[in-house]
């Protein structure tokens, strides 16, 4: 799943990256956001949303997106 800071919530990692890139010579960079990528194999994909709500994300300050990839198609 992909976990992102909610719009309007402070994103200090994103701000740090946005400030650091021009200092390294990378210009034209805007709207940097840093979130988390969590990958796992699970028997029951129906549990993924509950996992995000209860452990993997903080629903107060983060949005999550569940991306299901069927193992048989990989």
Where along the sequence are the contacts to a copy of itself (CB under 8 A)?
2-4, 17-18, 20-21, 24, 26-44, 47, 50-51, 54-56
Nearest CA among 11, 65, 70 for reference residue 37: 65
Q: Which is nearer to a copy of itself, 50 or 61 (CB)?
A: 50
CB 60 to a copy of itself: min, Å: 18
Q: Which is nearer to a copy of itself, 43 or 60 (CB)?
A: 43
CB 11 to a copy of itself: min, Å: 10
Nearest CA among 7, 3, 5 for reference residue 65: 3
Q: Are 35 and 6 in contact (CB under 8 A)?
A: no
């Amino acid at each position: 799943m992909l976990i992102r800071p909610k719009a309007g919530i402070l994103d200090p990692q994103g701000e740090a990256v946005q400030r650091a890139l021009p200092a390294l010579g990378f210009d034209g960079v805007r709207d940097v956001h840093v979130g988390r990528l969590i990958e796992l194999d699970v028997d029951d994909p129906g549990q993924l949303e509950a996992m995000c709500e209860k452990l993997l994300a903080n629903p107060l300050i983060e949005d999550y997106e569940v991306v299901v990839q069927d193992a048989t198609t990989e």
